[in-house]
Amino acid sequence: MTIQQLTAKEIAKIITDVTKDELIEKLEIPPDNTLGDLAFPCFILARKLRQSPAVIAQWLEQQLAESNVFEQVKAVGPYLNVFLKKDPIAANVIREVLTKGNQYGSAEGSSSGTITIDLSSPNIAKPFSMGHLRSTVIGNSIANIAEKLGYEPVRINHLGDWGTQFGKLMTAYHKWGDESLVKENPIKELNKLYVRFHEEAKTDETLNDEGRSWFKKLEEGDPEAEALWKWFRDESLKDFQKIYDLLDITFDSLHGEAFYNDKMLPVVEELTEKGLLVESEGAMVVDLSDSDLSPALIKKKDGASLYVTRDLAAAQYRKNTYDFKESLYVVGQEQSLHFEQLKKVLHMMGYEWANDMHHIPFGLILQDGKKMSTRKGKTILLEEVLKQTINQAENNITEKNPTLEDKEKVAEMVGVGAVIFNDLRQSRLNSVEFNIETMLRFEGETGPYVQYTHARACTLLKKGNYEKESELNLLEVVKEPCAWEIILTLEKFPAVVERAYKEYEPSVISRYVIELARYFNQYYGKVRILSGTNEEQHARLILVEAVTIVLNEGLRLLGIKSPQQM
């Protein structure tokens, strides 16, 4: 039972015509912990009791004075501030954390079903840029959180592996390509060819015609075109895998745009049968004016299908294949209109499950306050960024702890973790400022700060020869500086996990682990953890172990590893 549930239960004994759920919803955490552990605003009772909120607060103070749950109850204006009895709460929280371990915070049978998550989705034969980082790490974290709550996430990498750009690339390869160079460094060479094509096409318009011709060959199943396409795709996937390995992210499906080529015609036929397709300037569209949306383009004048057509086919395939409870699309906010159109068309086709599809938008990655450039071959490569942060992390570790074992392995955890945490530390709708030096700091709201806190706690357990015992004895630990704040923070982890999924917002977890790390470091700074009797040391180390468990699990949900030494 959470502290909110405990408090609501006590108040509900006095106020019987308000449900516990209503009371829980209104309970607040005071801005200053000296005011109380929880505060109840009495405004909602004023009409029911026909008294002013301040009078009700004073009345509740008197009624709850003898409660065995509260250490102190105090009316402050219209608020009832409560201080919980620390020992039983602390014992229950710590016991639950230690007993459940990394399962602490998991839903107990309340959630089930498949959640499909469309994430990452880089374009084949193009560099994996920083622009794809956000979709990748936000989507992966949401999948981790969903899994913890009992859902079965299906991570789908909807690769950009189709389109006229492949005709252009084939043209460029035939004119200027070198097979050995492509094999040696596929993405770099293919991107160089693609950039050259566009430069040359500025003065030679016939190149675009050749590009369209090659793509037409590909669509018609020309063996040479298909072989080139498959080679470009396979080489790209090998290159992308290096990045996914560094990020420790795996996928359940790599079905990209090409997979749905043979699934679009049935969609067009269904739209036609249901009388939803209309002609507009030679193109075929679904009119969405009743929803104040621009028309959904289904087929161009030349008969070619468009993204909406392909995504309609993909949505139907995912529903038929996975029978999803929810289908999430972790795609930049600039695609919001597209997903509004997609859902509306599905509704018009009679598919009520379109209500279970959700676009999870996010902001940009900025450098010096400006959008990172991806034009004219100036793409900032994610792989290079990760290598740079890993090297810088290793330099930092060498400076601070030159004798550390497995330095390279730890540096990889810290460097990659810093990039992920920097992305996930604030609301996904905000744009993220990219600065390697800032994100690698060991203080402030950074991944290394949380990782270092975890490593510090692990070191204390090792130095203190800590061993778990079945008997839980916290002694006077709960009364030591910042210990109670740690307990209250640990206690709310399950609610934090649920909120993070409900809002599809990994930053809820990021802010939480920062808060827990801060309280622990304050405790570490004020209390000599390894001093006193063996019993006193062990009591403190019980608290330390609980912190390591939750910090480790919080970071794991973000897709970040927790070194035991740094």
What are the contacts of 441-444 at 24+ separation with CB within 8 A? 442/396, 442/400
CATH 3.30.1360.70-classified regions of the chain: 3-84
Per-residue pLDDT tens over the stretch 48-72: 888 999 999 999 999 999 898 999 9
The domain made up of 3-84 has a fold known as: Gyrase A; domain 2 (3.30.1360)
The per-residue pLDDT for 306 is 78
Q: How confident is the model at residue 303 (pLDDT cuts 50, 70, 90)?
A: low
More confident residue, 237 or 32: 237
Nearest to 325 by CA among 496, 159, 154: 154
CB 167 within 8 A of CB 207: no
Residue 411 has pLDDT above 80, yes or no: yes
Sort strands 326-330 and 114-118 into parallel, antiparallel or unpaired.
parallel
Burial tier of 194 (Cβ tally within 10 Å: 0-12, 13-18, 19+)? buried
User: Which backbone phi and psi does 211 adopt, to 5 degrees?
Assistant: -60, -45
pLDDT per residue as tens digits for the range 125-162: 888 888 789 999 999 999 999 999 999 999 999 999 99
Query: Residue 302's pLDDT band (boundaries 50, 70, 90)?
Result: low
Tokens matching residue 141: 């974290």
**pLDDT value of residue 155:** 98
The chain-wide mean pLDDT, for the chain, equals: 92
Kindly tell me if the per-residue pLDDT of 338 is higher than 60.
yes
Percentage of the chain modeled with pLDDT above 70: 97
- Of 42 and 109, the structure prediction assigns the larger pLDDT to 42
Average pLDDT over residues 357-369: 88
Stretch(es) of the chain classified as CATH 1.10.730.10: 382-558
Fold of the domain built from segment(s) 382-558: Isoleucyl-tRNA Synthetase; Domain 1 (1.10.730)
- Whether residue 466 is predicted with pLDDT greater than 90 in this model: the reply is yes
pLDDT band at 376 (very low <50, low <70, confident <90, very high): very low
pLDDT in tens, 199-234: 999 999 899 999 999 998 998 899 999 999 999 999
The Cα–Cα gap between 270 and 129 comes to 37
For the cut 80, the answer to whether the pLDDT of residue 253 exceeds it is yes
Closest CA to 127 of 388, 381, 385, 389: 381
Helices (H) and strands (E) counted in the chain, each on its own, are 22, 13
pLDDT of residue 301: 73
Given a cut of 50, is residue 374 above it in pLDDT?
no
pTM summary value: 0.92
